[in-house]
């Protein structure tokens, strides 16, 4: 379904009182071209971390002009073997385009089927991760890999599957973590 906007734009004002459909609108007289701009989508993110991957978002936090548009993007970089670990987006579907390299992608349907859809993608291939479902990517090629992704939310959010249990603040009890991870 498409919702027809009632304003040309509602550039996010982080200091204003947020509304249920997004952030407050900045005074249109104060809006500038910079509010609709992001630079650096060509720059590889730093993958020197345990997972060997890095997501660089360009959503409403970086581009205030995206507020209320239901749209954003990100760049993902992977070193050889790099993994973007299983996660979900609570507010978006995701469209994934390979810029470089060979990437295994997959998603899993909800209980009780837990069907695992997976595929190996190469440069130029596009894959869709359905709304809210757990998904992941792994660089299975010999070199670096990179992807450009689109979300139908200016603020898709990200829930790391293992991370949310392991790194909850305050921590979950060890018993709960151990039983989830079956150690
Ligand atoms: C990839 O799945 C991403 O959310 O960046
Ligand atoms: Mn994702």
Centroid of ligand 1 to alpha carbon of 181 (angstroms)? 23
Express each pLDDT in 105-138 by its tens digit: 999 999 999 999 999 999 999 999 999 999 999 9
User: Which pLDDT value is given to residue 138?
Assistant: 98
pLDDT average, residue stretch 156-161: 96
ipTM greater than cut 0.90 = yes
φ, ψ dihedrals at 57, nearest 5°: -90, 145
What pTM does this model have? Answer: 0.93
Residues that place a CB less than 5 A from ion ligand 2: 94
pLDDT average, residue stretch 85-104: 98
| Residue in 112, 155, 105, 152 with CA at minimum distance from that of residue 127 | 105
pLDDT at 29 over 90: yes
pLDDT average, residue stretch 142-168: 96
List the beta strands (DSSP E) in 46-129: 53-58, 72-78, 83-88, 94-100, 102-108, 116-122, 126-129
User: Which pLDDT value is given to residue 182?
Assistant: 84
Centroid of ligand 1 to alpha carbon of 27 (angstroms)? 33
Q: Average pLDDT over the chain, rounded to whole?
A: 95
Q: How far apart are CA 63 and CA 104, in angstroms?
A: 30
Centroid of ligand 2 to alpha carbon of 31 (angstroms)? 31
Express each pLDDT in 48-84 by its tens digit: 999 999 999 999 999 999 999 999 999 999 999 999 9
Verify whether ligand 1 is closer than 6 Å to residue 55 (CB atom).
yes
Q: Indicate the pLDDT class of residue 4, thresholds 50, 70 and 90.
A: confident
Closest ligand to 72 CA?
1
pLDDT average, residue stretch 28-57: 97
Q: How far apart are CA 77 and CA 132, in angstroms?
A: 22
Judge contact between 159 and 88, C-beta under 8 A: yes
Assign a CATH topology to domain 12-156: Jelly Rolls (2.60.120)
For residues 181 and 170, the model is more confident at 170
Q: How far apart are CA 163 and CA 76, in angstroms?
A: 18
Domain residue spans of the chain: 12-156
């Amino acid at each position: 379904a498409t919702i027809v906007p009632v304003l040309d734009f509602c550039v996010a004002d982080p200091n204003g009182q947020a509304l249920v459909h997004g952030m407050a609108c900045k005074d249109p007289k104060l809006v500038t071209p910079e509010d609709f701009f992001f630079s650096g989508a060509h720059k590889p993110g730093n993958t020197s971390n345990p997972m060997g991957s890095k997501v660089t978002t360009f959503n409403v936090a970086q581009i205030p002009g995206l507020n209320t548009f239901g749209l954003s993007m990100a760049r993902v970089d992977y070193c050889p073997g790099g993994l973007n670990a299983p996660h979900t987006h609570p507010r978006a579907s995701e469209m994934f385009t390979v810029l470089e390299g060979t990437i295994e992608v997959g998603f899993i349907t909800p209980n009780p089927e837990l069907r695992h859809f997976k595929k190996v993608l190469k440069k130029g291939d596009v894959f869709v991760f359905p709304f809210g479902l757990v998904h992941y990517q792994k660089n299975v090629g010999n070199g670096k890999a990179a992807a450009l992704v689109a979300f139908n939310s200016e603020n898709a959010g990200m829930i790391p599957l293992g991370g949310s249990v392991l790194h909850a603040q305050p921590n979950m009890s060890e018993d709960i973590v151990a039983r989830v991870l079956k150690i």
